[in-house]
Structure 1
Amino acid sequence: MDIYGPKGIKEYVNVSLKVSESRLAYRIIFHELPNSTDGLIFEDPKFSVYAAPLDHRITSFGYRVVEHDHPGELMVDRLAKLQIPSGPIYGRLKRGEVVKLADGRTIDGKQMIGPAQPGRIVTIIGDTRKTENAARLAEHADVLVHESTFGKGENKLAKSYFHSTNMQAAAIAKRAGVKMLLLNHISARYTGRMAYDLEKQAQTIFPNTKVVKDFDVVDVPFNK
């Protein structure tokens, strides 16, 4: 497992494992980010991850996870109209190969593949005061996960404790042009229905807002 985070994350995790006498069946590789980190921190064939510092009492980062575009789908309807039989030929065309059929026709697979499917973007903003970096990381994201420790009218408290309000999160979502806002890190003062009052307040600024809790599963649809 690879864990990315600010300096001290390695010590924090190792102490937690030691105190709890936990034994892992896998190795942890720690990547401690310098406080000046601002940009790409990870990339593989499927995703690129960017980080930028937030405004918290201790070092805190926000993350932007960008899914790479998916290859276009094979245009099966078009192949059927051309009376091209299904089977291994479809796989070759999907790979973009040029295929010669038994009847002598030559089919270029690249012409039988639809446009690429744009990847999705998820931005995760941890503990922070209102900050410009949050809006920058969230620009045009499909989902923005933003802390909401405080509620409407509690800007001074939020600033004092280095946190954000639900209304500040909603304003960032609206400004950044995101599609969905998920509020988490709700203060323990907001229990039961009170937590959903935060949701309703934020919806006056950004309608597609939900309060979420640990282990919730949220579907992030592809852009059509």
Structure 2
Amino acid sequence: MEIWFLGTGAGRPMKHRNVTSIALRLPDPDCSLWMFDAGEGTQHQLMRTPLKLGKLEALFVTHLHGDHTYGIPGLLSTRSYVGGNSPLQLFGPPGIREMIETALTLSSTHLDYEITYHEVFEGVIYQTERYTVEALPLEHRIPCFGYRITECESQGKLNVELLQQLGVPAGPLFGRIKKGEDITLPDGTLIRAADVTGTPVCGRVIAIAGDTKPCDNASRLAQNADLLVHEATFAAGQEEKAHLYGHSTTVEAATTARDANAKRLIMTHFSTRFVEEDLAALEEEARAIFPNSSAAHDLYHTEVPRVRG
């Protein structure tokens, strides 16, 4: 599982920093792409990465401010041109469908695939065989949500040597055991999956907070997460200004991560007042509170490893 920061700025694009968008590349066997927000120019940023827009399966929008949404119509249109014709799931606050369909209709944009719109509410909003996505409302100037992605636990590695000793033939039975199913051999021998597989591998949890002031729901999203992505629009000491506009500081993002027992924090959504040379200082502010903090820059990407239970 790999996370990419396609844009890390707030408000408007800068020469060296685009507005907000995050991409999550899922591992085998899915190999699909999920995106979170798509500010103006997001499809241009995608062209600078190995990510394939045709693999886009779901788009989650935190809120309807332009620096998080103005790139969506172009992104959806280009997806058709690059062979993305499978259905797309699109999640967002009330108004997301009207916003996107108005832009597509008035521009006479034709898509070669179906969009299923989901107006987001608090709770579980999406489930697949391997992932569950929950949404919680945050505190911003307009309705805004954060998302928590939880991966299912997977079975440990099969002990092939032991299975052979027990007389289990390779083939479909191996597959059933790998899925956690106990089996009975023709001679009546019961093979328990737990006895012939290694330690289960815990599912990963990623929390992505939209624009927000510090609030209880941000902490709930981040609880015990492997990775918390949190906005840090302002620097330490600028709390009053941050809260006035519904935002957080570096120190507040780090405090949320620490108090929620998250394993890692990546900050994004930096004000245009900060240039790239300022990121190191912003990072240090957060690390004073939560040592495993980092400040993302455009096209920064990192693996989110699984941990064996």
The bucket for the TM-score relative to the shorter chain is 0.7 to 0.9
**Structure 1 position 32 matched with structure 2 position 116:** no
Is the Cα contact below 8 Å between 1:94 and 1:109 reproduced in 2?
Answer: no
Q: Which residue pairs with 2:160 in the alignment?
A: 76
The letter for the 2-side match of 1:63 is Y
**Structure 1 position 129 matched with structure 2 position 216:** no
Deviation, 1:83, is 7.9
**Structure 1 position 183 matched with structure 2 position 270:** no
- The structure whose Rg is larger is 1
Bigger drift between 61-70 and 13-22 goes to 13-22
* Structure 2 CA distance for partners of 1:179 and 1:157, relative to 1, 3 Å: same
SS of the residue 2:142 aligns to: coil
Q: Deviations over 1:172-203 (max 9, x none)?
A: 00000001101111112111111232112111
Q: Which residue pairs with 2:98 in the alignment?
A: 11
Looking at structure 1, the residues matched to 163 and 217 of structure 2 have their Cα atoms a distance apart, in angstroms, of: 48
Corresponding pairs, count: 217
Given the alignment, which residue of 224, 234, 249 partners 1:165? 249
Looking at structure 2, the residues matched to 21 and 211 of structure 1 have their Cα atoms a distance apart, in angstroms, of: 40
SS of the residue 1:217 aligns to: strand
Root mean square deviation of aligned Cα: 2.4
**Structure 1 unmatched runs, 5+:** none
* Structure 2 CA distance for partners of 1:91 and 1:8, relative to 1, 3 Å: closer
**Structure 2 unmatched runs, 5+:** 1-87
* TM-score (normalised: structure 2): 0.63
Q: Percent identity?
A: 36
Is the Cα contact below 8 Å between 1:92 and 1:109 reproduced in 2?
Answer: no
Deviation, 1:77, is 5.0
* TM-score (normalised: structure 1): 0.85
SS of the residue 1:171 aligns to: helix
**Structure 1 position 98 matched with structure 2 position 98:** no
Q: Which residue pairs with 1:152 in the alignment?
A: 236
**Structure 1 position 108 matched with structure 2 position 191:** yes
Q: Which residue pairs with 2:128 in the alignment?
A: 44
Q: Deviations over 1:14-65 (max 9, x none)?
A: 24435666443211111113xxx32222222211111111111100011111
Tell which has more relative contact order, 1 or 2 (C-alpha 8 A, sep 6+). 2
* Structure 2 CA distance for partners of 1:90 and 1:27, relative to 1, 3 Å: closer
